[in-house]
Amino acid sequence: MKQASSPAAEEEDSVRQSLRTLSDSISRVQILKGKWSLAAAKVNTLLDRLSDLSAAAANSLSADLLRAIAATSSAAAALADACRSPNPPGGKLKTQNDVDSISAKLDAHINDLQVLVRSDAADAATAAGRREPVRSEARNLLTRLQIGSNEYKSSVLDSLLGLLQEDDKHIFIAAAYGVVPILVNLLDSSSSSEIKEKTVTAIARISAVDSNNHLLSAEGLLLLNNLLRVLESGSVFAKEKACVAIKALSNSKENARAIVSRGGISSLLEICLQGTPNSQALAAGVLRSLSAFEEIKNSIIEENAVPALLILCNSGTAMAQENSYGCFCNLLPGNDELKLTFAREGGIESLTNFWDCTAPSVHSLEVAVTLIRILSTSPIIADVLLSRAFLDRVVRLLSCGVLGVRIAAARALPEMAYNSKLRKELGAMGCISLLVGMLDGKAVEEREAAAMALLELISYAPNRRILRKEEKGIICIVQLLDPSVKDLNREYPLSILSAIVHDKKCRKMAVVAGARLHLQKLVDANVAGAKKVLDGLRGGGPWGVFGKG
């Protein structure tokens, strides 16, 4: 038996992880979905066939094959990420050819793997024994699921659920043998409420593994329509599981439209008002996903969702509250009347309670901070939030250990600091130092959010002096000008630097940190504002967007 600590085992595990990463990337593509769906099936086949590799077969040939599979996975994942855009960098025709090429390579790897395993059948049998009982059981259960009486099928479903619950790897194996189409057909054809409930439970379990969601999506409206019927008339338990599965499908705009057109919002709101605490939270989670689509927002509002969501904000479980706030984060932007309704109907009080008492962890505060940012765009509500000490709460999160929460807090500050008095207060609270620390973070999103907040705060002149005194402040700002830092808006660091380099000491520190080299590259790339700052460093240009301070 292969030892878990052996190099061969580690290499095989690494390849498995790269294939799972590829599956996850494929599940997010927005173009060429048909071709990617075929590629995803081949990835699942590779994952299953890798189980046949054994320690005895782990010779130089298998090592070469594993490295080739890893290389293909890496290239395919990068290509899949590019296909998340409707206009991939290489153009649609070239991208289509690249996807076909990747698919052919996956076929070749599957064939090579079969040949390699057959070449050492005796040794392969040992490794196959690790998963063969599971594969055999899965094949047997899926065959039995298609024959016999309802009572018989119900018993088979119990066994299948037991298998799926044991290990996520068992889900991959069952998926490779076509469990999803069989379950969808069973859900569509059976009139037994017991079988429907167990079938929906199995589908929900499969949907819990994100890389399998493309298999559910491939079943299209047949699956979605049946899940919506369960949502309308199923048992309490079945409705909960239907919500789980629908949530996995609701990330697609086409599916979101189908859910709305088939009365799904009404069914979800009924659960929010009358369901069990757990089903309420799950239904609110589906609404949160649906509300992310601009064209769906009005449908949710018109179905009178706001009162139901406000009730959950006040009396739902922590997860129900979090999902309801997330829904409001999607519904409120650009709708001042709805913001005022949220505030008038007790939304701020419930948010205060959630923040201070209910939130299970600091992770849960990301959605709350985002909602604070959106509400702060209304001057009337912003004053109320300040009176409830939300400014202090947000600043404290700038130093928390959760990346997403830190980013949300930094993004909220420019909206909350809407006058000089508040900017002065934030400077006195040590906010500048905290944001400088975020400038040195690893994530581009964190660095950009911190720069955006700093730019707002230094519009108050004394805060510029605080920034100039920060030991790493200038260095971190200059680092953001480096063209090798991808996907970062240069407007913020350029404007910050422009505002402070009139000071001789700051100018010298910026030059030592390499600002001229970075700025010249940005000038050559025609980045707006770069030439002005470069001239300022040379002593021959105007000083900054805020003037001296």
278, 243 in Cβ contact below 8 A?
no
Is 345 a member of any domain?
no
Q: Which of 404, 393, 394, 399 is nearest to 366 (CA)?
A: 404
First to last CA, the chain: 72
Q: Which of 295, 303, 230, 207 is nearest to 257 (CA)?
A: 295
- How large is the average pLDDT for residues 19-34? 88
Q: Report pLDDT digits (tens) over 357-392.
A: 988 889 999 999 999 999 999 999 999 999 999 999
pLDDT at 6: 58
Is 232 a member of any domain?
no
Q: Are 99 and 161 members of one domain?
A: no
Amino acid at site 126: T
Is 239 a member of any domain?
no
316: left (phi over 0), alpha (psi -120 to 50) or beta: beta
Q: Are 205 and 146 members of one domain?
A: yes
Q: Report pLDDT digits (tens) over 400-457.
A: 999 999 999 999 999 999 999 999 999 999 999 999 999 998 899 999 999 999 999 9
Is 498 a member of any domain?
yes
pTM: 0.73
The alpha carbons of the chain give a radius of gyration, in whole angstroms, of 28
When the pLDDT of each residue in the chain is averaged and rounded to a whole number, the result is 87
CA distance 436 to 474: 9
Q: Are 107 and 143 members of one domain?
A: no
Q: Are 80 and 153 members of one domain?
A: no
Residue 288 in 3-state DSSP? Answer: helix
Is 292 a member of any domain?
no
Token couple for 157: 């479903």
CA distance 323 to 339: 17
Token couple for 499: 């505002």
What number of other Cβ atoms are within 10 A of residue 405's Cβ?
23
What band does 128 get if pLDDT is binned at 50, 70 and 90? very low
CATH number at residue 500: 1.25.10
CA distance 492 to 306: 36
Question: What range does the domain containing 56 cover?
Answer: 7-119
**Last residue of one domain, picked from the residues 218, 247, 264:** 218
Torsion sign (Cα): 6, 12, 17, 20 = negative
Is 509 a member of any domain?
yes
Q: Report pLDDT digits (tens) over 140-199.
A: 888 888 876 788 889 999 999 999 998 888 998 898 888 999 999 999 988 899 999 999
What band does 110 get if pLDDT is binned at 50, 70 and 90? confident
CA distance 305 to 321: 14
- How large is the average pLDDT for residues 23-29? 88
**Last residue of one domain, picked from the residues 218, 237, 264:** 218
Q: Are 31 and 104 members of one domain?
A: yes
Q: Are 427 and 520 members of one domain?
A: yes
Placement of tokens 């202090």 in the chain: 392
Q: Are 110 and 158 members of one domain?
A: no
Is 523 a member of any domain?
yes
Q: Are 23 and 141 members of one domain?
A: no
Is 374 a member of any domain?
no
Q: Are 441 and 512 members of one domain?
A: yes
**Last residue of one domain, picked from the residues 190, 218, 246:** 218
Give strand ranges (E) for 1-103. none
pLDDT at 55: 38
What band does 104 get if pLDDT is binned at 50, 70 and 90? confident
Torsion sign (Cα): 189, 195, 199, 204 = positive
What band does 322 get if pLDDT is binned at 50, 70 and 90? very high
Q: How many domains does the chain have?
A: 3
Q: Among 133-142, 294-303, 451-460, where is mean pLDDT lowest?
A: 133-142
Q: Are 108 and 69 members of one domain?
A: yes
